[in-house]
Chains A and B, each alone.
Chain A
Amino acid sequence: MTAAVVRRLLQAVMVMLAMTVIVFIAINVIGDPVDILISPDADQIERARVVQALGLDLPLWQQYLRFLWAALHGDLGESYVYNEPAIRVILERLPATLELAVAAILIAIVVGVPLGLYAGLRPDGILTRVIMTVSILGFSLPTFWVGLVLIMFFGVQLGWLPSGGRGQTAELFGVQWAFLTKDGLAHLILPAVNLALFDACLILRLTRAGVAEVLPLDFVKFARAKGLKETRVIGVHVSKNIMIPVVTIIGLEFGSIVAFSVVTESVFSWPGMGKLIIDSINVLDRPIITAYLMATVAFFVIINLVVDLTYTALDPRVRLQGEGP
């Protein structure tokens, strides 16, 4: 087990390294930040001074090595805009995105799994047809549009919920969280629901497909033949067998939500990482973009590791390499 985890971590480091190369080159292609950073009236000498201060006069490979060396020391550069270490700017925004993502995934699971189970157990029910139709809408409608509709309906027309921002926050473990205050929670609901919609539908459909697949299998019939209560047959025998694809999707989608909640955060002006990255791309704030992408990759790697470990807990036939039988 330990050997397997260590091997996975080494793989993760290689992935991160490959990522730095891609990110670094890509970012140099998309534009020259100097044009944006320096006021148009600045003279040539001033311009050269800034270019040199940022190290942009060096050949690309030297810039890369300098970046890599600094990155190894935990320094991903200083934001051109905020004049703060990029990693700190990102981490400041991380809790907002994280709580939004966690809330969204929780909503998706709480809605998706039970409805999927219901639809799988009653494939011909009228309610099942309603659920399945709505779920198609759920992942066909564009997120930004649904977000706008939510704002219009609940924010503007009914006036029940605030339509943007993060509201009041409270401190926990030295970090500001919105979900701890009533106001913050109210602000959290709409963006979380908006973000959850797609994944709830995805989880729902996966669960339903899993139930339909597992239900006719002999072991379910045998479980019934043993005289088990239906709650145990479904709750243990069926559920545990359908959880593997569901866990995979939850893991992947959690990463996606954290990394790319750009749209929802923009629509609801949620001050998270997604909004930050869009702003930073607009002003070509290279260190922020780089740090953001690195953080995202690291996040995905961690999630994948957790998902793999969860598999072994769910399915004894899946064993990580390096572990004895």
Chain B
Amino acid sequence: MSEQDATAQPGIAPTARPTAGTMFAALYGELAPHEWRDPASEHDAYQLFHQRSLAMGWLDDRAGAGEGNASGGRTHVAPGLWAMNDAGRGHPLAASGPNLISWFQVEASALADGRSLPVRPFLRCAQDTTERIGAVRLTAVQVLLPVQGIDASARPPYAPAPSMRTPDWFGECDPRARVSVKVRIDGGLDPSIPPVATRFAHRIVPPDQNVFTGGLDEAVPPGGFPPPPFDDRFWNGPPRHGMTLSGELAEWSCDAVGWLAATVADSAAHLGIRTPVLFTVARA
């Protein structure tokens, strides 16, 4: 370290590892804690989410790794899909959120060219964590998508929209599991979504998939979605410029919501949107 320079400013260190950006998930609904669980248990959302992410091999350990191991050799640490930031059950701003039952914040690692934002594994861990705490009845899922971290021009020809490689996972869903949903895609103060809403919707609902069917629906009021449980400065908020769709989802699961969220992020990046996007799905 050199001596302090009075003209120096805070900034990004040259050792900074590139990342896609901050991903935040909020689950809304009802949570009935398991009767065997101690309300003061140390096994809280933070600890459970961290351990679940680590167990699945999705946690990026590199930020906290030392330079070497006890024998003086080099430590090889795992890259992963995200690094842990925080998680909890109470509202992170101590506000009275509408049925917020849990929330999770991670730093998404830089994306491989042929991969989507890891929203499905992220929501898998969020759901597993919340269900470890209690019985869950989800009414809405909200995800802040770091679209600015997706380089659409780097997509390989075989995966222009990587999530579109996996809709068949939902092909064996019980047809009776389909649910009506409404979807809000919001760019906050950034006005770039409304002018491309029609093309955006066509990308999200192409004819060769059945995971989500529907279209733009201007009759759904944006105020019918829960406000995000974080500060406006965190993402260029508040919610303002966006679009709303209504339709059917193959099943009411975090997995299906995650697929749709990844598709929205891929589509937004292809349309040149370079801002965090607040994505919310609620049961209609």
A and B are partners in one complex rather than unrelated chains = no
Interface residues of A (CB under 8 A from B): none
